[in-house]
Structure formats: structure tokens, C-alpha cells
Amino acid sequence: MKNASPQPMINKPQLRKIFSGVLLMLCLGNSLGRAEEQHPHHPIPLDQYIALLEDPKRDEWQKPDAVIQALHLKEGQVVADIGAGSGYFTLRLARMVGQKGQVFAVDVDEGMLSYLRERLAKEKIQNVQVMQVPAHDPLLIDSSLDLAFICDTYHHIEDREVYLRKLHKALKPNGRLVIVDFYKKDGIPVGPPLSMRLSEETVKQELQTAGMNITEKLTFLPYQYILIAQPTTGGPGASPVTQP
Ligand SMILES: C[S@@+](CC[C@H](N)C(=O)[O-])C[C@H]1O[C@@H](n2cnc3c(N)ncnc32)[C@H](O)[C@@H]1O
């Protein structure tokens, strides 16, 4: 006689359903970070992800207008918003560089980008080119950018050394790379979980290895560092001139 194996109380499809429910509840706990932990590119249904990114409460700590002002962009400049998402910063960047300027809004997620396209059409903003890109390459033209802006996205990038070298090439000789991301320390109520964050020191080191010189560090955001870097004249591997 065969041994009858005990039947599980919950079968696999039921388990999956329960897991998805718990996942959704975690994401809806108004924590974008929790959501990012569960799935890096599409953590929760798109409309909920967009609502989190565009939540007016985010403005209190993200201070988007102050961030954009601090970049001292000029009319006519060319900017890339890497990991543009719903366009929270893209629209502000587009207004700063004006009709003669250009913003490349790049993202891996077509859902985000189609939302952004509609938003740009509604707001009649014509100086933004929306680009869906692969995760390893922003597909930007060499020496084309005055500024590459990466907010809350750098920690998503996998091979950052290769990626930074591509961004280095895409910058004009005096171009700037701006990275805004969360401090890797306890007690920050928003942002990704500690395990996904990159310390400021790590990012500085990575920039330096990619041939970038950190020219400015802004500290007015409560939960995030803002690092501004420029290509060193010697190219990748050259030693930095200054290191704030
Ligand atoms: C947390 S959201 C930030 C969106 C926007 N920068 C903001 O501050 O509101 C991260 C975005 O980066 C995108 N992303 C993730 N990895 C990426 C990659 N390797 N290249 C381009 N975009 C990426 C995601 O699809 C998502 O839209």
C-alpha cells in the first residue's frame, strides 16, 4: 500500500493569491520604498506607483522646485532625465531650459512613459523627447548633454560602472551629472529599504572611478544627498581635482 502523502492545507495558486494580496497591502502602505523592494521596475499597479511619485506630500521632502533651482540651468540647454518615471522632474526641467532647450526623458518602463507622453501633450510641452531605453544603456548621443539628472533611480541601475561611463561620454566637456538619492542610514521614513540604498561614499567612489570629479554637494534635502559631478579632463580613472 502506498503511503498517502499529507495534502497541504493551502494549494500553490491559493498561496500565490495570498502573497500578491500581502504584497499589494505592503505597497499601499504609502511606502514607495517598500514597493521598490518587492519589484524594482513595476512594484505595484502603474496608477498606484504614479500616485506615489506624484503625491503632493512628496513635495515636502523632495522639494522639487528648490532642487531644480539649485541646478542653475540656462535656457537652451540640453538635459537628460534618467529614470524619468511619471515626469515629476521632467516637466520642471523642460520649463527651465525653455523652448530652445531639450529634455530627453528616458525610462525602462513603457507604462510610465505613455503616461508621461499624455501629460506632456495635455500641458502642451514640446521640448521633451520621451525614450524607452534598455536598463543598461540610456541611448544618449556622445557629447550632447549639458546635464544628466538622476533622481531616486541610481540605486536601480545594475552595472553602474558601465552605465556611468556611458553617461560620461554623453556629457559635453563641461556637462554635469546630478545624482539625487537616499542616505543609507536608519530613521529615514521614505525611500527604498536600507539594503537597496547606496551610501553617499559609494556613489562618490563610483563617480570617481568613472572619471567624474565631484564639484558640488548639496545638503538641503532632509533624506537625500545631491551630488553634482563633471568629467575630469583625464577621462575615466583620472584623479579628482576637488572632492567636497
Ligand atoms: C522611483 S522612480 C523615480 C522617477 C523620477 N525620477 C522621480 O523622481 O519621480 C524610478 C524610475 O526609474 C526607472 N528605472 C529603473 N531602472 C532604470 C534604468 N536602468 N534605466 C532607466 N530607468 C530606470 C523606473 O522605471 C522608474 O520609472
Could you tell me the CATH number of the domain that includes residue 137?
3.40.50.150
- Total domains in the fold of the chain: 2
Q: Same domain for 44 and 66?
A: no
* 112 Cα nearest atom in ligand 1: 27
Both 72 and 45 in one domain: the answer is: no
Is 77 inside a domain boundary?
Answer: yes
Q: Are residues 23 and 68 in the same domain?
A: no
pLDDT of res. 28? 31
2 belongs to a structural domain: no
Same-domain pairing of 115 and 21: no
Residue 89 lies in a domain: yes
The alpha carbon of 185 and the centre of ligand 1 are apart by a number of angstroms equal to 21
Protein residue with least CA distance to atom 12, ligand 1? 83
**Which pLDDT value is given to residue 44?**
86
Say what the pLDDT of residue 43 is: 62
For 197-232, letters b (16+ CB in 10 Å) and e give bbebeebbebbbebbbbbbeebeebeebbbbbbbbb
Backbone angles phi, psi at 28, to 5 degrees: -75, -5
**Phi, psi for residue 12 in degrees, rounded to 5:** -60, -50
pLDDT, tens digit (0-9, with 9 covering 90-100), for 30-54: 345 555 554 455 568 999 999 999 9
Cα of 153 from ligand 1 centre, angstroms: 5
| pLDDT at residue 51 in the model | 96
Structural domain including 157 reads 57-231
Residues 42 and 64 in one domain: no
> Are 116 and 36 contained in the same domain?
no
Separation CA 83–CA 19 (nearest Å): 28
236 within some domain: no
Alpha helix positions (H), 123-228: 160-170, 200-209
* 110 domain residue, yes or no: yes
pLDDT at 39: 43
Task: Of 218, 209, 216, give the one whose Cα is nearest residue 242.
Answer: 216
CA–centroid distance, 13 to ligand 1, in Å, is 31
Domain end marker among 36, 51, 66 = 51
Which helix (H) or strand (E) covers residue 224, if one does?
strand 224-231
- pLDDT value of position 1: 37
Would you say residue 121 lies in a domain?
Answer: yes
135 C-beta closer than 6 A to ligand 1: yes
Pocket test for ligand 1, best of 91, 108, 221, 224 (most atoms within 8 A of CB): 108
| 199 and 167 fall within a common domain | yes
Tell me: do 29 and 146 sit in the same domain: no
Q: Is 1 part of a structural domain of the chain?
A: no
Same-domain check for residues 172 and 191:
yes
Please tell me whether residues 106 and 193 are part of one structural domain: yes
Whether residue 109 is found in the same domain as residue 214? yes
In a domain, 4, yes or no: no
Low-confidence ranges of the chain (pLDDT < 50): 1-31, 38-39, 236-243
Indicate if 22 and 63 belong to the same structural domain: no
